[in-house]
Homo-oligomer: A and B are copies of this chain.
Amino acid sequence: MRKKSPNRKRARKRKVRNISETDRKLVKMAQDVLRQIEKGHPPSVEIPQRGLSNVIFDDDSRILKMGDKTSKRSFLNIAHTRKFMQTMLVASYAQKLVKDDKHAGIRELYYALKHSVGSSKENTFEEQGESNIIIEDLERMLDLLREQMNLTADRRGFIYGDIEIFDSGDRFNASKLGRGGWAVPGNIEDIKLKKSNVDYVLVVETAAMSDRLIEEKFPKDNNCLLVACQGQAPRGIRRLLSRLHLEMDLPVVVFTDGDPYGWYIYSTIKQGSINLAYLSNTLSVPKAKFVGMTMDDIETYDLKGVTEKLKDLDKKRIEEELKYPWFQNRKWQKQLQKCKKMGVRIEQQALANKSLEFVAKEYLPEKIENKNFLP
């Protein structure tokens, strides 16, 4: 199912300019502020607005994009002073990280910058939520991933299969690590993806299903990479998928539970989340396909006996997903409506009801061979 695309050059270009670009943008923002002060003007920065009203779904590229509405954050506006101070602190810390070639977790950043201001009892930050928001602001202001500012999200998930990876002087193949696979770091900006002979990437929601597919030798027999996201895909995994797609021209196929949460995981991998729409270009895979589970599977594979009842949160999520721009097509609307009507969910592992081998020997190969995907 492999297809070549002209993405490679674009991807490579983005990598090379990373560090210098980050440093340049952070320094430029600081110089702008300094210049305002030197001119005797009250210093301020322009920040793209967050929220749905400033998000556009681009029908051509099929990704979420940031609109052009901005807000001014001004030091001498008493409603903005605290946030302005926080913005300068976080930007300064990030610039130091990049200069020193160090990385920090976003929780480390919070603790590193938390202190009382002068002799007052006022703290720079009261809780991590405050610094997280500033990081998002900077990402939108500077059009940079936090990872490009050497800020790292918590990691989870692993990759298994025939790909050579080059990281910190080590070169290894992720198919030569027993049944374990490579634990994907939170920040993968500096790794190099080398030779791979696979045809596509299969993303799997649960670690247990990944273990099943590894035991059944699915990645080897079907010439694919397996990426376990272990729940909602963390940023390291999303960035890895985006890079595998852009740099290695690999199609991405997603395999989750058949329920509103599984479909939400797919949606995030494919399009990005609405809250972080501005990151879609480098964190999402708009051409990703969904292989299952679907509500149709329950009938096709006679799984009625092993469904579970929907919870209230599931029902709420269906209503949200019915409105997602990228689910505005016949196939997805049908599955979502069907789920609502049937009131049940079906888990990946319910396929074990047929036999342990079934998922690897019949379900996935047949669906993938026949391109029986949801868009």
A-side residues, CB < 8 A to B, are 102-105, 107-109, 111-112, 114-116, 123, 152, 154-156, 158, 165-170, 172, 176-187, 191, 206-209, 211-212, 215, 228, 230, 305-306, 347, 349-353, 355-356
Instruction: Pick the most buried of A165, A177, A181, A183: most chain B CB atoms within 10 A of its CB.
Output: A183
Q: Bound state CA distance, A123 and B169, in angstroms?
A: 55
Query: Which residues of chain B come closer than 8 Å to A166, judged between CB atoms?
Result: 178
Given contacts A305-B114, A356-B108, A167 and B191 within 8 Å (CB-CB): no
Task: Give the number of times this chain occurs in the complex, counting copies.
Answer: 2
Q: Bound state CA distance, A84 and B181, in angstroms?
A: 39
Q: Bound state CA distance, A209 and B212, in angstroms?
A: 30
Query: Which residues of chain B come closer than 8 Å to A103, judged between CB atoms?
Result: 211, 215
A211: contacting residue among B177, B185, B211, CB under 8 A: B185
A306: contacting residue among B111, B158, B165, B306, CB under 8 A: B111
Query: Which residues of chain B come closer than 8 Å to A176, judged between CB atoms?
Result: 170, 172
Query: Which residues of chain B come closer than 8 Å to A186, judged between CB atoms?
Result: 207-208, 211
Pairwise interchain contact B105-A212, C-beta atoms closer than 8 A: yes
A107: contacting residue among B155, B158, B347, CB under 8 A: B347
Name the CB-closest residue of B to A215: B103
Pairwise interchain contact B182-A183, C-beta atoms closer than 8 A: yes
Query: Which residues of chain B come closer than 8 Å to A179, judged between CB atoms?
Result: 167-168, 185
5 contacts between A and B (CB under 8 A): A109-B352, A114-B353, A172-B177, A180-B185, A183-B228
The smallest C-beta distance from A350 to any residue of chain B, in angstroms, reads 5
Pairwise interchain contact B155-A207, C-beta atoms closer than 8 A: yes
Pairwise interchain contact B116-A305, C-beta atoms closer than 8 A: yes
Q: Bound state CA distance, A70 and B178, in angstroms?
A: 40
A353: contacting residue among B105, B111, B355, CB under 8 A: B111
Given contacts A116-B305, A305-B114, A184 and B180 within 8 Å (CB-CB): yes
Q: Bound state CA distance, A230 and B347, in angstroms?
A: 24
Instruction: Pick the most buried of A105, A114, A187: most chain B CB atoms within 10 A of its CB.
Output: A105
Pairwise interchain contact B172-A167, C-beta atoms closer than 8 A: no
Q: Bound state CA distance, A184 and B104, in angstroms?
A: 24
